[in-house]
Amino acid sequence: MTQPIFMIGARGAGKTTVGSALAQALGFKFVDTDSYLLQTSKLSVAEIVEREGWEGFRRRETQALESTSAPQTVVATGGGIVLAAENRAFMRRTGTVIYLRSPAATLAQRLEESPLEDQRPTLTGKPITEEMLQVLNERENLYQEAAHIVIDGTQDPASIVDAILDALAAPVAR
């Protein structure tokens, strides 16, 4: 298996944390669309949104997805990557898509402990638990639709990597 692996899920799902460990386990390269945008634009997510709105950020994110995607690479995406049908189709067509799934309360707790406000400006203006409930309500179907594999993201990162390796060893429905 050499095609890229795309990690999807909401903020705090562990796409960056688990994606990086998975890449190491597979001997793959690791890239992150949020880090790529930060490095190439020299702007944080908050600064891009301030200048160009979320629409501008989403446009840049689609470019970042296509630029970072490569064989033998794990790509950690941003939480909103699934909002564009174009991105969902690209990931499904060119790689294996893994959805790290956790309830809103788990995501909110992780984000409260590590807010990184420059990279995670508010999406709704609501308190964090309400925000994550709304985000999952709006996006759960999109994450499910985009994913080849859905993994319980509430386990510790090492167990999640093991679960992904097991799932990758079985035939994936396409």
Ligand X SMILES: Nc1ncnc2c1ncn2[C@@H]1O[C@H](COP(=O)(O)OP(=O)(O)OP(=O)(O)O)[C@@H](O)[C@H]1O
Ligand Y SMILES: O=C(O)C1=C[C@@H](O)[C@@H](O)[C@H](O)C1
What residue numbers does the annotated binding site cover? 12-17, 32, 34, 58, 79, 120, 139, 155
Per-residue mark of binding to ligand X, 63-102 (x: CB under 6 A) = -------------x-xx-----------------------
What stretch of H or E contains 78? none
Q: Return the closest-CA partner of residue 12 out of 63, 57, 76.
A: 76
The structure tokens listed for 114 are 């590590």
The structure tokens listed for 137 are 């309500």
Pick out residues in 21-40 that bind ligand Y (CB under 6 A). 34
Q: Which stretch binds ligand X (CB under 6 A): 54-62, 86-94, 127-135, 149-157?
A: 149-157
Give the residue closest to ligand X by C-beta.
14
Q: Which does 9 bind (CB under 5 to 8 A by kind): ligand Y, Mg ion, ligand X, none?
A: ligand X
Residue 16 lies near Mg ion (rule: CB under 5 A):
yes
- Judged by CB under 6 A, how many residues of this single chain contact ligand Y? 10
| DSSP 8-state secondary structure symbol assigned to residue 35 | H
State in angstroms the smallest separation of the CB of 119 from ligand Y. Answer: 6
The structure tokens listed for 80 are 């909103």
List of residues 6+ apart from 15 with CB closer than 8 A: 7, 8, 9, 32, 76, 77, 79, 100
CA angle 78, 67, 20 (to 5 degrees): 50
Provide the binding-site residues for ligand X, judged by CB under 6 A.
9, 11-18, 34, 76, 78-79, 110, 114, 120, 153, 156-157, 160
